[in-house]
Structure 1
């Protein structure tokens, strides 16, 4: 019951910060440096005493560094994938392969032995996520007769094929990064015995440094950085609080349920985001989104058995 409540809270918080980002229209390393930085500052009074009092630096610094690298790679790969490929390809691949690889890694690397009901539930969650994600895929180009139209159709088909390849590459890479930080952070709090708050705070602090360095390299003018902060700081702070609370709930849930259950169950947030996309942003294909949501909920129900 505790794990279920933590996962539900995490899903609501995760969906909420995604809706905020969508409304704000903000992205890029500057914005996410503000997000990570604000969360780091706000959590510092609680996390630093806990981290210093319970763990020597040698025991947590390496864990935090690798975690930060995985989380930073996830953010950068996802944004890049959305720029060069279709969301309808990148999103379902990322959110589908992430939990799938996490379950496989939990079995192969963490020694978990999920029962058939758990594996079936995880498979249903992945399938439902793919159904929801492909609801936003755009239809392929179609040509009508004539040589000019055929040339145009051929160029459009070539462009569509290229975008599809890029979508598969980036979507899969994002899924690998999701599985990477899922398994690494789970091992940190369950195997190494690090506190969820202390471990993730150290990871956030390092993410802030990485993203800030990248933002300064790409945006050297201090004026631009100040302008971004002025425009997006309130939303960045809200996103930092919600995203941190969401992930801390997941890290805590690893103490009550195995990774092979928590990793796919946290995709419940995809259902909430899909419904928000339909109800708040009037995104298309509500029937497919609802069908995918039903499949995901069925999978989550099996995971709770």
Structure 2
């Protein structure tokens, strides 16, 4: 991997952790993540006229991924309601590649090599360490939603990998995914809509819209990097976002960053990186 590609991937990691920090720091997180989804969808809609239509066989993957993304959005909101960014983010991001690796072994019969086994052990150990740090809420309110968030990430990661290959153009696949994700959040928002929870054109809304655009840019950078460099190293380096999130939580959200939490985040990041190299 060239230095400039590595720099792009690290920048993407910072962007991804940053929009999560924006979400965690918001007072109405469902409002925030809805606006983020709409902003990413609107930006994607601008790109659609310049992209081919995804092949017909990829649309079932797009729809499945949209359903998982909506579940991901809701679980992320629930997770951040009770837990710190520096705990929730590493657990959700770290458990995802672990679940993908375990699922590949169980479903596809893939053999787990020593690096993969080490990655699984490190992620499990790091999550256990973060579970001990999960203060401000019961374990079931903090770690369980975060792990379930990781389940949805693992699910749409596999589905998007299959779907983008079947689409004929990964950019077109991603654009329609973001558009439909934004549209799918409309009934979710309408279900809990009241005069007090309407979409407001204020500073938090504009901040959330910026966060949605940032999430789209972060995704685009990773896709671009993966097209010119091996996916394993890109995925492994991308997991540095776990540590970035812990630092952002400490700097901007007033979260604790003791040595135990920092070590646990580093262990999760190293384990996830091992899994990314498989």
Structure 1 residue 45, shift from structure 2 partner: 2.7
Question: 1:246 is matched with which residue: 193, 211, 218?
Answer: 218
Note the 1:112-123 alignment, pairs <5 A. Answer: 115-121=113-119, 123=121
SS at match of 1:51: coil
RMSD across aligned C-alpha pairs, in angstroms? 3.4
Segments of structure 2 that go 5 or more residues without pairing to the other structure are none
Residue pairs, 1:62-81, within 5 angstroms: 62-81=60-79
Aligned length: 273
Question: Per-residue deviation at 1:62?
Answer: 1.8
The CA distance in 1 between the partners of 2:7 and 2:188, in whole Å, is 37
- Structure 1 distance, partners of 2:277, 2:134, is 31
Q: Does 1:11 align with 2:27?
A: no
**Alpha carbons of structure 1 residues 264 and 288: separation in structure 2 relative to 1, 3 Å:** same
User: C-alpha separation between the residues in 2 aligned to 1:96 and 1:130?
Assistant: 12
Equivalent residue for 1:32?
33
Q: Paired residue for 1:225, among 198, 202, 205?
A: 198
Residues 169 and 224 (structure 1 numbering): CA distance in 2 closer, same or farther, change over 3 Å?
A: closer
> 1:233–1:252: structure 2 CA closer, same or farther, 3 Å change rule?
same
The 8 Å contact of residues 40 and 205 in structure 1, kept in 2 or not, is answered as yes
Which residue of 2 is the match for residue 49 of structure 1?
50
For residues 145-164 of structure 1, the aligned pairs below 5 Å read: 163-164=138-139
Q: Deviations over 1:63-109 (max 9, x none)?
A: 221111111101102222444x5558865543342221022234555
Cα distance in 1, alignment partners of residues 87 and 247 from structure 2: 19
Q: Secondary structure at the match of 1:124?
A: helix
Structure 1 gap segments, 5+ residues each? 140-159
The equivalent residue for 1:155 is none
- Please name the residue that 2:174 is paired with: 200
Give the aligned partner of residue 187 of structure 1.
Answer: 162
**TM-score (normalised: structure 2):** 0.79
Deviation at residue 27 of structure 1 after TM alignment? 0.6
Q: Which has the larger radius of gyration?
A: 1
